[in-house]
Amino acid sequence: MKNNTEKLIKKLLMELGENPNREGLKDTPKRVAKMYADLTKGYNTSRKETVNNAIFQESIDDMIILRDIELYSLCEHHMLPFFGKCHIGYIANNKIIGVSKLARIVDRFAKRLQVQERLTQEIAKEIQEVLKPQGVGVVIEAQHLCMMMRGVEKQNSVMVTSSVLGLFRSDIATREEFLTIVNKHK
């Protein structure tokens, strides 16, 4: 696949009116192919690899929150980056997950062509299926280069999406506690 991607990038450079053989562009197809392989590696990562047996039995039924997980993704409409922060909360149901695995779950779904709305839901559903907690809340705040660099060119716009499951959806006090903690740092 990498070789095909390199050929496509070389052809794209020619379509743009560039000379892919000039010094500054000679290795560009290889670099761009490598970049796309990295930015889309979420397609080739399984749940098992991501979680890697890091679920632990604990007598805990409290809310656990991990804030400010950096994320980088590619908008599926223009293949331009969007980036921001993901905040995850869950109410344990006698099981917890290794904290780094939450960030790995975010990366697993962010490293694909995405829309932020679906990304938020995929992360919440994955945590729900893996941990079976009493509830899950996910909030993503992101800036989209497709909004900033082209089209409407709005430099300071931030898109916020949320997905709430279980107690985060059915109990307003639980949802408010989560959102208060997530927003406290602002």
List the catalytic residues: 75-78, 116, 144, 146
Residue 10 near residue 20 (C-beta atoms within 8 A): yes
> Rounded distance, CA 10 to CA 57, Å?
52
Three-state DSSP at 88 gives: strand
Rounded to whole angstroms, the Cα distance separating 154 from 157 reads 6
CA-CA distance, 33 to 179, in Å (whole number)? Answer: 39
The crossing angle, in degrees rounded to 10, of helices 2-15 and 28-39 is 120
Distance of alpha carbon 105 from the chain centroid: 8
Number of CB atoms found within 10 A of residue 161's CB: 18
CB 28 within 8 A of CB 20: yes
SS (H, E, C) 103-171: HHHHHHHHCCEECHHHHHHHHHHHHHHHHCCCEEEEEEEEEEHHHHCCCCCCCCCCEEEEEEEEHHHHC
